[in-house]
Amino acid sequence: MSRRACLTSVHFRPIRVNIYAKRNAHDRTGTGDASGICTRRGDHSGWTLLTNHARVLLSIARDPGARLRDVAAECGITERTVQGIVSDLEAAGCLTRTRAADGRRNQYRIDTASPFRHPAEAGHEIAGLLALLAPRPADVQDVAPDDSARQP
CATH number of this structure's domain 52-133: 1.10.10.10
List the beta bridge partners of residue 96: 109
Task: Give me the amino acid identity at 101.
Answer: A
**What pLDDT band is residue 85 in, cutting at 50, 70 and 90?**
very high
Region of poorest pLDDT, from 29-33, 119-123, 133-137: 29-33
Q: For residue 46, what pLDDT is reported?
A: 79
Q: Residue 79 has what DSSP assignment?
A: H
Residue boundaries of the structural domains of the chain: 52-133
- pTM, two decimals, is 0.61
Q: What is the pLDDT of residue 31?
A: 41
Exposure letters 54-90 (e unless 16+ CB within 10 A, then b) = bbbbbbbbbeeebebeebbebbebeeeebeebbeebe
Phi-psi region of 76 (alpha: psi -120 to 50; beta: other; left: phi over 0): left
